[in-house]
Chain A
Amino acid sequence: MNITDTNSSENRIDMIEKTEVKTVSLFSINMKNFLGNRLAVIASLIVIFAVIVSIFSSFFAPHDPNKTDLFLRLQPPAWMDGGEWSHPLGADHLGRDILSRIVYGTRVSIIVGFSVIFIATAVGILTGLMAGYLKGKFDLVISTIVDILLGFPYLIFAIALMAVMGPGFQNIILALVYKEWVIPCRVVRGETLAVKEIEYVEAAQALGASTFHIMLKEILPNILSPVIVVATTRMATVIILESSLSFLGLGVQPPMASWGNMVADGREFMLEAWWVSTFSGIAILILVLSMNIASLSLRDAFDPRFSES
């Protein structure tokens, strides 16, 4: 009786191991779903291209973005009367090449987008994990701060902070991080509260694992996918916020090129030179739209709770 029992259980283990060899990982299934969505692939390629452009701006830009040449003042795009192919998208009111400024503006948008999301997500994960797992006073403090910050409309908060701190590249990142970390923090806290009741966390506790180990090694890996989804979705919003602040003159300061302040530059010359505002706005639209499409498809592919069909 005993012998046959152990035999059969060994067999079962064998079978499990064999079937496991054949199964495909969840990640590769999700990845396959994602790659099957043509629109999503195109959108991700555009985002990747923008990242490459932002790294090698000097290679992609035909001219120095800050070189002024008053002979080229408000020169129209190449296909219009008076345009030249050396300045394909024309020049602005100081004779600076618009295409080059858009290329360098990519750098600002991408750096602000990525660093704000990176810092905010890191802070959000830490605070959210601690609040969700430790509970008690720490949770109370964090949750109260989160609730207060959620009460502020985003743009007002950022504008007020920028007004106090003064404009500038670092300040814009800081101003956005101060509010942005709340969003990953809430997600992480909620997920942690759910995950910490699952048996494997209990098992780790019973084995005497340290709090630190449980939070980082047991809980974090299992809540990472919603966090990544939220981070990618938020990046588009952050880029729009940066350009809005720069548009108001509270963000990146001239002469540094940012898509937002390029649109603002063109505002004064709307009557005679529509191209100054138009192209940088199209750049924002393309990047943000691609990010939105890519992140939504990522969400649909990786988070089964959100899939529509």
Chain B
Amino acid sequence: MLGDQHVTPEMEQALREDMGLDLPIHERYFKFLSNASKGNFGRSFFHRRPVMEVILERLPATIELTLCAMVMAMVISIPLGVLSAVKKGTLYDKTSVVTAMTGVSMPGFWFGIILIIIFAINLQWLPVSGRSVFALRVPSITGMLLIDTLLAGRMDSFMDAVKHLILPTITLGMAMGATLMQVTRASMMEVLKQDYILFAEAKGLKRTRVTFFHALKNALIPTVTVAAIQTGQLLGGNMIIETIFGWPGVGSLVVRAIFSRDYPLVQAAVLIYVLIYVIMNFVADLLYTVLNPKVRI
């Protein structure tokens, strides 16, 4: 091995003890468990700092991106899904169904690159990657740039942060929006068949009022639950998109950690991802019971 000759047995022993590798495997496992339950995942091999510290530093960027993508996906997909269900069978409906299916089938890493080629390289409207220009940095308070820049009262920095957010948000929001649109359309079609919709129309209420106040309220139940589950997936699943856009979040951190064999970091990140995923699933269940009193036990 390269570098073998420079390591004395004492140095090796010291390193083993430092990393806890001298203990038997079951002891190491229980040590890991008890430390992990206290939020201590050990030190990162690569960053040489506690793993939790490194991850928490990066978490706000991931949350910011995910929330923006979620909001974009909901704002666009819900009205489109409703319109598609109302105009069922028309050319508009067919086009939007095929568009949504294309959105689901499009690999995110490719879509992101195409957006970069078009909007960042050829048109030069938006930055290629990163989160902010160095000259426009503001002191970090919450870690979310959109909020921090406003707190600092720097409009130029705020606009810079928005510009950096646009492409990753579109890439991430697209797949999510496409799924949400399909869900909204399906549940809206189901709701529009119900008797109370017919009754509301028979009362002489306006079509738009019936659609948006009577029907949408019920049709949104599955959409909201799916959105919550997807947010959980995205918080853990946008490593690819973060990597493409050089977004300094947890996703790109984990990808780099895998390549640099930084096992404590990977371990901790996977555990945190699973935790977020399970919590978001739980939130989805809670939302479901709040929105639909019928399933309350």
Contacts and interface: CB of A to CB of B under 8 A. Distances in A.
A159 interface: yes
A236 B105 contact: yes
A285 B189 CA distance: 28
B105 A292 contact: yes
A277 B111 CA distance: 10
A70 B114 CA distance: 26
A292 B113 contact: no
Interface string B244-266: 10000000001100110000001
Interface string A234-263: 001000100110011110000000001001
A124 interface: no
Given A160-B266, A163-B266, A244-B240, A153 B106 contact: no
B104 interface: yes
Interface string A217-248: 00000000000000000001000100110011
Contacts of A270: 113, 116-117, 121
Contacts of A151: 274, 277-278
B237 A285 contact: no
A155 B239 contact: yes
B107 A160 contact: no
Contact of B107 (A154, A159, A274, A284): A284
Contacts of A267: 113, 244
A56 interface: no
A156 interface: yes
Interface in B222-243: 232-233, 236-237, 239-240, 243
Nearest to B258: A163
Contact of A289 (B101, B254, B255): B101
The DSSP consensus for interface residues of chain A is helix
A190 interface: no
A119 to B, nearest CB: 23
Contacts of B273: 153, 156
A243 B240 CA distance: 11
Given A153-B233, A153-B277, A288 B240 contact: no
Given A151-B278, A270-B116, A292-B104, A263 B110 contact: yes
B292 interface: no
Interface in A131-170: 151-156, 159-160, 163
A308 interface: yes
A46 interface: no
B102 interface: yes
B45 interface: no
Given A151-B277, A156-B237, A248-B243, A277 B113 contact: yes
A146 to B, nearest CB: 15
Contacts of A244: 107-109, 240
Given A244-B240, A281-B110, A152 B274 contact: yes
Interface-central residue, B101, B105, B106, B244, by most chain A CB under 10 Å: B105
B15 interface: no
Contacts of A296: 101
Nearest to A264: B109
B228 to A, nearest CB: 14
Interface of A: 151-156, 159-160, 163, 236, 240, 243-244, 247-250, 260, 263-264, 266-267, 270-271, 274, 277-278, 280-281, 284-285, 288-289, 291-293, 296, 308
25 contacts: A152-B270, A152-B277, A153-B274, A155-B240, A156-B236, A156-B239, A156-B274, A159-B254, A160-B266, A240-B107, A243-B107, A247-B240, A248-B243, A263-B113, A270-B116, A274-B117, A277-B113, A278-B117, A281-B110, A284-B110, A285-B102, A288-B106, A292-B105, A293-B101, A308-B186
The 6 closest A-B pairs by CB, nearest first: A281-B110, A289-B105, A288-B105, A163-B258, A153-B236, A274-B117
